[in-house]
Amino acid sequence: MELQKFKHHIEIRIRTYHVDVQNIVHNAWYLFFIEDARIEYFRSVGMLLDEETFRTKSKFQIVRNTIDYSYPAFFDEVIQIFTRVAYVKNSSVGLEQVILEKKSQRLIVEGTGVAVYLDAKTNRPERLSEEMRTKVSAFEKDDVEFLQ
């Protein structure tokens, strides 16, 4: 992935309980880290994802995740989780994520995800609003594609 396209990242420190019997961060924890990063990404973009929104307006459901693990992360390291929206379709967004170890800048994980936007009442996919498209576009500039 092209790191220069990413405009947002958060940092998380690896805790004792992230590390498993093989003394590396367990593969599942990265999806929690990625979740944190996605929520903070959308906050930065200006899209509020709060309980009220989830219950009364729209849900945001992950329909696909892929993760490639390049190198383990270890206890007490600080990792940087980069997030961007690569494309927007009618009712879904395509996410890309890169995780680096902060100090060495070595590549830990590359991931992709697809999130579908659902009407909170019907649970049916709904078109991402013009407001959201405008906000993502303003944040990502030329690095996001609007496919539908």
Stretch that binds a copy of itself, among 54-62, 82-90, 128-136, 140-148 (CB under 8 A): 54-62
69 touches a copy of itself by CB under 8 A? yes
**Of positions 4, 22, 105, 122, contacts a copy of itself by CB under 8 A:** 22
> How many C-beta neighbours within 10 Å does residue 79 have?
21
Residue number with CB closer to a copy of itself (12 or 132)? 12
Which listed residue (65, 80, 91, 137) binds a copy of itself by CB under 8 A? 65
61 near a copy of itself, rule: CB under 8 A: yes
Contact call for residue 146 and a copy of itself (CB under 8 A): no
* 120: Cβ contacts below 8 Å, ≥ 6 apart: 53, 54, 55, 56, 57, 58, 59
To the nearest whole angstrom, how small is the minimum distance from the Cβ of residue 4 to a copy of itself?
A: 24
User: CA-CA distance, 65 to 29, in Å (whole number)?
Assistant: 13
Return d(Cα 66, Cα 120) in angstroms, integer.
Answer: 26
CA dihedral 120, 133, 112, 121 (to 10 degrees): 10
